Chain A
Amino acid sequence: MIISIASGKGGTGKTTVATNLAFSLEENVQLLDCDVEAPNAHLFLNPQINETRQVVANVPAVDESKCNFCKKCMEICRFNAIAVMGKKTVFTFPELCHSCGGCMAVCPEDAISEVPRSLGTIELGQINKIDPSNKIDFIHGKLDIGQAMSPPIIKEIRQTADNSMTTIIDAPPGTSCPVIASMNKTDFVLLVTEPTPFGLNDLSLAVEAVRLLNIPCGIVINRSTMGDDCVSEYAKKEKVPVLMEIPFDKNIAKAYAKGDLIVQALPEYKSKFLQLFEQIKTRLAQKEGVI
Chain B
Amino acid sequence: MKELVILSGKGGTGKTSITAAFASILDNAILCDADVDAADLHLIASPDIQKESDFFGGYEAVINPDKCTQCGLCEEMCRFDAIHDFCVDPFACEGCGVCYDFCPEKAIEFPLKNCGKWFISDTRFGTMVHARLGIAEENSGRLVTLVRQETLKIAQKKKIDLILTDGPPGIGCPVIAAIGQADAVLTVAEPTVSGRHDLERVCQLADHFKIPVMTCINKYDLNLEQTDKIKALAEEKGIAVVGQVPFDPIFTTSMIQKKSIIETDETSQASQAVKKILDNVMAQPVMKNKSVRLNLL
- List residues of A whose CB falls within 8 A of some B CB: 8-12, 15, 35-38, 40, 43-44, 76, 78-79, 98-102, 105-106, 143, 145-150, 172-180, 184, 194, 196-198, 201-202, 205, 208-209, 212-213, 226-228, 253-254, 256-259
Give A54 to B223 CA distance when docked, in angstroms.
35
Find out whether the CB atom of B37 lies under 8 angstroms from the CB atom of A102.
no
Q: Which residues of A contact B174 (CB under 8 A)?
A: 176
A146-B256 contact in complex given A11-B12, A172-B170, A184-B91, C-beta closer than 8 Å: no
Interface residues on B, range: 35 or more
Find out whether the CB atom of A146 lies under 8 angstroms from the CB atom of B209.
yes
User: Is B263 at the interface (CB under 8 A from chain A)?
Assistant: no
Find out whether the CB atom of B194 lies under 8 angstroms from the CB atom of A43.
yes
CB contacts under 8 Å to A, within B175-212, are 175-176, 190-194, 197-198, 201, 204-205, 208-209
Q: Which residues of B contact A148 (CB under 8 A)?
A: 141, 172-173, 176
Q: Which residues of A contact B136 (CB under 8 A)?
A: 175-177, 179-180, 209, 212-213
CB contacts under 8 Å to A, within B69-108, are 77, 79-80, 91-92, 94-98, 101-102
**Candidate in A99, A150, A198, A208 with the most chain B CB atoms within 10 angstroms:** A198
Q: Which residues of A contact B92 (CB under 8 A)?
A: 184
Sampled A-B contacts (24; CB under 8 Å): A8-B38, A9-B11, A9-B40, A10-B11, A12-B12, A38-B170, A40-B197, A78-B59, A98-B96, A100-B98, A105-B98, A146-B209, A148-B141, A148-B172, A150-B173, A175-B136, A177-B138, A177-B140, A201-B40, A202-B38, A209-B136, A212-B135, A213-B91, A259-B193
Which single member of B37, B43, B170 contacts A175 (CB below 8 Å)?
Answer: B37
Find out whether the CB atom of A196 lies under 8 angstroms from the CB atom of B255.
yes
Per-residue contact bits, chain B 8-46, to A (CB 8 Å; 1 contact, 0 not): 011111001000000000000000000001101001000
Nearest CB in chain A: distance from B124 CB, A: 17
Q: Which residues of B contact A9 (CB under 8 A)?
A: 11-12, 38, 40
Q: Which residues of A contact B168 (CB under 8 A)?
A: 174
User: Is B233 at the interface (CB under 8 A from chain A)?
Assistant: no
Give A78 to B93 CA distance when docked, in angstroms.
13
Find out whether the CB atom of B135 lies under 8 angstroms from the CB atom of A100.
no
User: Is B58 at the interface (CB under 8 A from chain A)?
Assistant: yes
Find out whether the CB atom of A11 lies under 8 angstroms from the CB atom of B11.
yes
Find out whether the CB atom of B97 lies under 8 angstroms from the CB atom of A102.
yes
Which residue of B has the minimal Cβ distance to A143? B172
Find out whether the CB atom of A102 lies under 8 angstroms from the CB atom of B171.
no
Which single member of B102, B171, B226 contacts A257 (CB below 8 Å)?
Answer: B226
List the 10 closest pairs (A to B, CB-CB), nearest first. A10-B11, A11-B12, A100-B96, A37-B170, A257-B223, A259-B193, A174-B37, A40-B194, A148-B173, A10-B169
Which single member of B77, B135, B141, B208 contacts A145 (CB below 8 Å)?
Answer: B208
Which residue of A has the minimal Cβ distance to B196? A43
Nearest CB in chain B: distance from A224 CB, A: 12
Find out whether the CB atom of A78 lies under 8 angstroms from the CB atom of B58.
yes
User: Is B222 at the interface (CB under 8 A from chain A)?
Assistant: yes
Which single member of A102, A145, A173, A177 contacts B38 (CB below 8 Å)?
Answer: A173
Give A9 to B256 CA distance when docked, in angstroms.
16
Which single member of A102, A174, A177, A196 contacts B96 (CB below 8 Å)?
Answer: A102
Which single member of B79, B171, B201, B222 contacts A254 (CB below 8 Å)?
Answer: B222
Find out whether the CB atom of B208 lies under 8 angstroms from the CB atom of A176.
no
Which single member of B43, B59, B223 contacts A197 (CB below 8 Å)?
Answer: B43
Q: Which residues of B contact A256 (CB under 8 A)?
A: 192, 194
